[in-house]
Amino acid sequence: MRTVLLAVVVAAVPVFLEAQGRGGGRGQGPQGAAPPSAHAAAPWDMTGYWVSLITDDWRYRMLTPPRGNVDYLPITAQGRSVTDTWDPGKDDAAGERCKGYGAGGIMRLPARLHVTWDDENTLRMDIDTGIQTRRFFFGGTQVDASQASARQATLQGYSVARWELPGGGGRGPAAAPAQANSTSGRPGQLRVVTTRLRPGYVRKNGVPYGANAVITEYFVRLLDTGGQEYLAVTTTVDDSTYFQPPYVKTYQFKKQSDATGWNPTPCVAK
């Protein structure tokens, strides 16, 4: 198994960061014109099918760890206490069998993604593991307090997105300078901030995050010398009740040419 994993890692290493502009200058409108949609302004095309690459933490991602296992997690004493008392039977009885499939844990599970545009400013991500759907909303800041109080918390929460482009520009609030993700120095990454979450698990063995967690993700397109596309997703789970410091992890996905292997499967507690 170690030999197979090493081969996968080696195959994934020689990638070069690439921001593939679609249409060269697409999104540059005439002076005074309305800003382009998020779809038009995208520096690269995220749509299509992607499959997760389990290149590290295999035993914690392919299998549900034993109760109480918090290896390599910056968990607080309170978080450890919750993990130690995890009971999947209680989750089932309470109708919470999908708590390990929320936005704070879904990207680490072995899965396939299908990314499409719901509309010009809403990117949709369907995930076959657990049959979950995430939506990334462009074009504004987080909802204000009155809207937030009226919005029901969900497993996937409410996600505000923006492209981070050269010079720190991007759709939405002023973006932090983005790292170049191209051999030619052209940056272009997708930043997603998710709130309004129902409590969930970072790992399916009951390692928790709470309703006040803020999840920040950076999606970067990678390209190897043979032209194969990859997606690197760096996720930060910021929840000081259960993690100190915030939990940060990067997950990798490989782009597929079609829907081969797509297998929507309901979430299960264990």
One-letter identity of residue 49: Y
Residue 81: strand, helix, or coil? helix
Q: Of 201, 14, 173, whose CA–CA distance to 96 is shortest?
A: 201
pLDDT of residue 265: 95
User: Cα separation of 135 and 156, whole Å?
Assistant: 8
pLDDT of residue 30: 56
pLDDT of residue 180: 38
Q: pTM value?
A: 0.79
Q: Tell me which DSSP letter residue 187 carries.
A: B
Per-residue pLDDT of the chain (270 residues; tens, 9 = 90+): 444 444 444 444 444 344 344 444 444 455 667 788 999 999 999 999 999 999 888 777 888 888 889 999 999 999 999 999 999 999 999 999 999 999 999 999 999 999 999 999 999 999 999 999 999 999 864 454 445 545 789 999 999 999 998 665 554 433 333 343 433 334 589 999 999 999 999 999 999 999 999 999 999 999 999 999 999 999 999 999 999 999 999 999 999 999 999 999 999 744
Query: In the structure encoding, which two tokens stand for residue 230, read together?
Result: 């990859």
- Strand 158-164 relative to strand 132-137, pairing: parallel
Q: Write the CA distances from 251 to 127, 230, 235, integer angstroms.
A: 14, 10, 8
Please provide the DSSP assignment of 149-185 as one string: HHSPPBSS-EEEEEEE-GGG-BSSSPPPPPPB-STTS
pLDDT of residue 15: 43
Residues in Cβ contact with 237 at an 8 Å cutoff, skipping those fewer than 6 apart: 104, 202, 209, 213, 215, 243, 246, 247, 248
pLDDT of residue 31: 63
